[in-house]
Copies of this chain bind each other. A is one copy, B any other.
């Protein structure tokens, strides 16, 4: 029997935001080696069992998902049929031991969310790869059912760490001791970056993530605020932009998930990003300058599969100090 070799970091072609129909598809993509279990583990370069991926799908009633931070419950002690906790969990379980080892080795762990997870952060069906996290803490405590459970706190790596270069990939592949790789790329301390003094100011960057592409397709490249279906190129193709309601990045940054993204035309995108346009809790679009295209509050155009998180609308209004 050949032992599974743990593989840390992104898997080629599977960038954060990529969607899968089933656990089987997640497994075939090489993101997670198991078909059912939550924890994917294997031998690291030092011959230790370490976890390289987890699935978050409300398997355990004690899981807590706040996107940037996840409290994850270990494996074991549940009744196969009812799924209820009937025994204590232990560190002998290889998944639990693997996640603890990942904390000690400081390696990254891929997080995959399933549709049964925390509503605002989970895909509406199937599974979504949400990038790299680190295990920052582990402990045991009494769970809701009264048995001891193993607990892990995971933190998402900063957005810029979710974008690995092929150069970094090459370095990773050429390194044997995995710890060295982690020291380089996943350490607590980000290497000191010189502040970039730019001749050219970047005023706006339009990002096109897998999540954004999905939202634009759902809406057929039509602006959810003003209804414009911009056509560009030759032959004509639809053009729209994915606008994050709660802006990405920074300590107060929002998540790159469908429920935090609107499909907007460039003009409404600028309006949203600069606080000229906002959404009410009942999904009305308000333009504070009553432009020609949104001259009075209008209902946000939407489609059934696109669930929008009210918490993101509120975060956006709070940022722009809008009382509603």
Q: Which residues of A contact B (CB under 8 A)?
A: 10, 15-17, 131, 159, 162-170, 194-209, 228, 230-234, 236, 239, 241, 265-267, 269-271, 274-276, 288-289, 291-292, 320-321
> Which residue in B165, B201, B274 is a CB contact (below 8 Å) of A197?
B165
Contact B269 A233 (CB under 8 A): no
Residues of B with C-beta under 8 A to A232: 270-271, 274-276
Contact A197 B169 (CB under 8 A): yes
Residues of B with C-beta under 8 A to A16: 199-200
* Cα distance, A221 to B262, chains bound together (Å): 26
Residues of B with C-beta under 8 A to A236: 276, 288-289
Residues of B with C-beta under 8 A to A10: 199
> Which residue in B168, B194, B203, B266 is a CB contact (below 8 Å) of A270?
B266
Chain multiplicity (copies): 2
- Kindly report which residue of chain B lies nearest to residue A15, judged by CB atoms: B199
Contact B163 A230 (CB under 8 A): no
**Min CB gap A131→B, angstroms:** 7
> Which residue in B165, B199, B288 is a CB contact (below 8 Å) of A162?
B199
Residues of B with C-beta under 8 A to A206: 202-206
Residues of B with C-beta under 8 A to A271: 230, 232
Can you show 25 pairs from A to B with CB atoms below 8 A apart?
A: A10-B199, A15-B198, A159-B200, A162-B200, A201-B207, A201-B209, A202-B207, A202-B208, A203-B206, A203-B241, A204-B204, A204-B206, A204-B241, A205-B206, A206-B206, A228-B267, A230-B270, A230-B271, A231-B276, A232-B276, A234-B275, A234-B276, A234-B321, A265-B266, A265-B267
